[in-house]
A = this chain, B = another copy of it.
C-alpha cells in the first residue's frame, strides 16, 4: 500500500517545503478552482502567489466542449488571469494527437465528431477535416431512410478514418448510429476523455465517457482516450512545455483522473484538494485507484506559505 498523503492545510512549514519541490503546477480546474460557476474563495490570490514565486501554471482540463480560446474566456470570466498557451484541454490534445501522431494520409483522414464546438475549433486549427459535431443536419430523429442509408453505406462519408467522441449535449440515436457504422468499417476510435460524469451545480450530469460508452458497448472496442488519466495527454503536455517531470506537480480533485494521471506520469508529486469529487476515504480505501502525495482542504490553503 502506498504511503498516505501528507496533509498541508494549516502547516506553513510543510507548505513551504512542498512549494520548493516544484517548478510547474498542472492544475485541474473544475473542483479545484471552481465548482460550476462558483469560483472558490482565495483562488486568484493563490495563483498569484504561485506566479510570484516563479512557478509555471498549466490549466489541464478534460473539458472537451471548449477550445483553448473558449476556455481562456471562461477563466477570464471567472476572474482568473491566464493566457491561451497555459491551457491544455482534451479537445486540443485530441486534435494534436490526430494531426501530429496519427497523421492519417489524405483523403481518408476525415474525423467524424461526436461533440461540441470546442473539438471542431481545435481540429480546424490543426487543419484536420471533420464532419458531424455541431452540424445541425444531425440534430434530429433517425428516419427509415437513415437506417437504410447507414446500412448500405450511401449515407456514410468514405473518407472518414477517425471517430472522435467527447461530451455532446446534443447526443442522439442518429449520431450514435453513425459513429458505430464508421467504427465497424474500420475508423480509428478516439475519445477526448472518459469521465463518466460532469460536475454541474453541485451534482453530476453525463460526462464524455457516458456519451462514448454506447460506442464501446456496441463495438467491443476501447477508444484511445486523450484526456486525463491517459498518458497520451501527459506526453503531449511534456512535449509542448518541455517540463521536468520530477519538478512538476499535478493538482486535482479526482483520484481516478487527476491523481492517477500524475502518479502514472511519474511526476515529482501530486496534490489532492477536497473541494471536488474525491474524499479522504477514497484514498484511504484498500482499493484506491491512486493515492496523492499531498493534500489540502482547499487550494487556497497554500496561502499559508511563509516565504
Contact = CB atoms under 8 A, between A and B. Distances in A.
Interface of A: 141-142, 147-148, 150-152, 168-173, 176-177, 180-181, 184, 196-197, 200-207, 209-211, 213-214, 217-218
A206 B214 contact: yes
Contact of A206 (B168, B177, B200): B177
A259 to B, nearest CB: 19
B218 A197 contact: yes
B201 A152 contact: yes
Nearest to A170: B141
Contacts of A152: 201
B201 A151 contact: yes
A196 B219 CA distance: 9
B169 A201 contact: no
B218 A196 contact: yes
A63 to B, nearest CB: 15
A148 B217 CA distance: 30
A200 B145 CA distance: 12
B169 A173 contact: yes
Contacts of A173: 168-171, 205-206
A170 B151 CA distance: 19
A143 to B, nearest CB: 10
A217 B207 CA distance: 10
